[in-house]
Amino acid sequence: MTAIDNRARTAAGDRSARPPVLRRKLFGNGHRPGFLTYGLLFAFFLASAYPLWWSVIIGSRSNEALGQTWPPLFPGGNFWTNVGEVFDTIPFWLALGNSVLISGIITVSVVVFSTLAGYAFAKLRFRGRDGLMVAVIATMAIPTQLGIIPLFMMMRTLGWTGEIGAVVIPTLVTAFGVFFMRQYLVDVIPDELIESARMDGASMISTFWHVAVPAARPAMAILGLFTFMTAWTDFLWPLLVLDAGNPTLQTALSQLQAGRYVDYSVVLAGAVMATLPLLVLFVLAGKQLISGIMQGAVKG
Amino acid sequence: MTTTLNRPAAGNPAARKTAPTFRQRLNILDVKASPYLYIAPFFVLFGLVGLFPLGYTFVVSLFDWHLLKGQGEFVGLRNFGEVLQDRFFWNSLFNTVSIFLLSTIPQLVVATAIAAVLDQNLRAKTFWRMSILLPYIVTPVAVALIFTNMFGEQYGLINNILASFGVDRVMWLNETLPSHIAIATMVNWRWTGYNALILLAAMQAVPRDIYESAAIDGAGPFRRFFNITLPSIRPTMIFVVITATIGGLQIFTEPKLYDPRTAGGTARQFQTTVLYLWEMAFQRQNFGKAATIAWLLFLIIVLFGLVNWLISRRIATTGDGRSRRHRPGGWRGKSSAAPAVVLPAIGSQPPAPSREQEPSDGQTDTAGNPTTRRGQ
């Protein structure tokens, strides 16, 4: 804070002793940004929120609202009717349950295996460690999603198509997760802590459990959050291996638009309903999400 | 580490004289085998569901292979010859690159601008950050549904607004460039705020005293932005471009749902390569050719990645070394053989000595550490 203040104070002092009032209000006085900044931020906010607000408006009216020359600005009273339509068209609760289950399993698996491997790479010495770590890094840049055809054949041979398992299997581990945990743990656990645990006679796994896991918790939370988001938003793979009777939320949602006649008020009501769970997550964990992104988590 | 970990067993002279007891043997086994046991799940699973299918894609591409009838005769590289002469394949590649450019370049510009606005001493900082991140929690499917509606040719919001200003309706679905713009808009809307936060993190890592001395030397805010901020965040920008490349070249959901009854428009005007792959595999049921398309796209993405990597290495070495020197993002804490692709991912937050608006505990963290402690 002081650094900025000093910088700006000097800058302002160079130009004139006292900036005029209008100028100060628009551009800020150095301590605080002015109206221009907040105006821009408000514009960004509108651009972010308006499409969602638009789907709330249309989702709570009927298709006729789309024909109006001047678009309506506020929701109508048709939301629950449209929600009923959504329930009639797609198995919403089943899809929601499936999505929660799939994303949950993937998240737990990725976090557990990444923490184990990340810990080994960060804190244990073993033959071939560096070479294997390079392999992990190299695989991060490989688009494994392009292996969908053999994967699909695999699932069909195993008879898993249509089952949740088929969706979960391909993403049980990620190279990024291992790399992320390794980067975190390498600095955060002092070697002495592991040594003293070992001196006290703790086995390797109990050292992991009592030393590494508590230290890794913040990183595990962030990795979990992003893994969950990625699994939740996935569309192509569940579309291939699941059928319309047993969908994820994403594939079910896409069904709303698939008919010959598309009732957009229903489609957008569905979009709003599918967004609500993540909106709750966003309100609860938004700060963690932001800090995770700013600390360099990558998008899935 | 090995020696220290082994000390209880091997470092004890008494233990070395006599044969190791069962307990000690167990302990040695534990020390030696545990690391491999910990990394095994990752490598086994990744090999099984990641690398093997990718490699097997190439095998499939060498055969006549039907979705239902299964493996046919071996055809060598014939599929490759046919796909490379297939104008639909080139069309899909053109569409992919076009949508990719339309979504990456404006996104980067806007994200940088947003980051610069956010990189001030704001009131309600967290609120503004959350407000630009809001689109990220809307899934691509929902984004596609919402924007497909807004870009509707007949009753879409955007054409309605244009019409009320006397502008002709734009054929957002049926013409090539407008359809690309519409799809790129979906991508841009969802990812701009996200990338702005990554760039914001990089901006906040720029030492504030550089700005101060530039201001003392008479550099105005724009001059400071172009001469200090932009060069400093360049590695992070490259990182953003690279992730955008890997994801953008595989775009599927948005073009698939923009017109769900076709595979990329009635005249394939927005059929991307993955969409063409999907059509080839599951509509035309030709797995052999679909695998060929997948393999070619894989090569293209790897090629893009390599070019990006080379460019970023050059920029990193000829550009100012300052922004990288502080970076403990190299996985061994130094600039190693690790691809530069991943370095800024973790290193976008070097320790910032003069960042005083943050709680001090945040500054001792090295770049790879996501801390919830910082709370923002």
Higher pLDDT, A3 or B213: B213
Q: Is position A77 within any domain? A: no
Q: In which band, very low, low, confident or very high, does the pLDDT at A31 lie, cut at 50, 70 and 90?
A: low
The whole-number pLDDT of residue A30 equals 58
The tens digit of pLDDT for each residue in A127-142 reads 999 999 998 888 887 7
Q: Which of B359, B96, B328, B102 is nearest to A296 (CA)?
A: B328
The tens digit of pLDDT for each residue in A177-188 reads 999 999 889 888
Q: Which domain holds residue A267?
A: 89-299
Q: Is position A141 within any domain? A: yes
Instruction: Tell the residue number behind the tokens 């607000």, with chain if given.
Output: A53
- Measured CA to CA, the distance from residue B256 to residue A143 in angstroms comes to 20
Domain count, chain A: 1
The whole-number pLDDT of residue B69 equals 82
Most confident residue range from A103-107, A142-146, B44-48: A103-107
The whole-number pLDDT of residue A100 equals 94
The whole-number pLDDT of residue A29 equals 56
- Cβ separation A147–B247 shorter than 8 A: no
Q: Is position A67 within any domain? A: no
B286, β-bridge pairs: B66
Residues of chain A contacting residue B375, judged by C-beta atoms under 8 Å apart? 287, 291
Chosen from A125, A181, A183 to mutate, greatest number of chain B CBs within 10 A: A183
Q: What is the mean pLDDT of residues A228-243?
A: 91
The tens digit of pLDDT for each residue in B203-243 reads 888 888 888 888 888 888 888 888 888 888 888 888 888 88
Q: Is position A168 within any domain? A: yes
Q: Is position A57 within any domain? A: no
Task: Name the residue among A124, A274, A291 with its Cβ closest to that of B35.
Answer: A124
Flag whether residue A46 sits within 8 Å of chain B, measured between CB atoms.
no
Paired tokens of A209: 């459990």
Task: Name the residue among A68, A143, A253 with its Cβ closest to that of B142.
Answer: A253
Number of residue pairs across A and B with CB atoms under 8 Å? 402
Mean pLDDT of all residues belonging to chain A: 84
Q: Which residues of chain B have pLDDT under 50?
A: 1-11, 13-15, 319-376
Q: Is position A138 within any domain? A: yes
Q: Is position A101 within any domain? A: yes
The values of phi and psi at residue B23, to 5°, are -60, -45
- Cβ separation B131–A45 shorter than 8 A: yes
Mean pLDDT of all residues belonging to chain B: 78
Q: Which residues have C-beta within 8 Å of that of residue A296, sequence separation ≥ 6? A: B198, B201, B344, B345, B346, B347, B348, B349, B367, B368, B370
Question: What is residue B65's three-state secondary structure?
Answer: strand
Paired tokens of B163: 């019409």
Q: What is the mean pLDDT of residues A189-218?
A: 87
Q: What is the mean pLDDT of residues A64-90?
A: 82
Residues of chain A contacting residue B350, judged by C-beta atoms under 8 Å apart? none
Residues of chain B contacting residue A195, judged by C-beta atoms under 8 Å apart? 4-5
Q: What is the mean pLDDT of residues A179-201?
A: 87
Residues of chain A contacting residue B218, judged by C-beta atoms under 8 Å apart? 14
DSSP result, B215-248:
HHTT--HHHHIIIIIHHHTHHHHHHHHHHHHHHH
The whole-number pLDDT of residue A18 equals 54
The whole-number pLDDT of residue B362 equals 36
Q: Could you tell me whether strands B63-66 and B70-74 are parallel, antiparallel, or unpaired per DSSP bridges?
A: antiparallel
The whole-number pLDDT of residue B296 equals 93
Percent of chain A having pLDDT more than 70? 87
B65, β-bridge pairs: B71
ipTM over 0.90? The verdict is no
Q: B51: distance to nearest CA of chain A, Å? A: 7
Q: Is position A194 within any domain? A: yes
Q: In which band, very low, low, confident or very high, does the pLDDT at A24 lie, cut at 50, 70 and 90?
A: low
The whole-number pLDDT of residue B163 equals 85
CATH number at residue A198: 1.10.3720.10
- Measured CA to CA, the distance from residue A37 to residue A32 in angstroms comes to 10
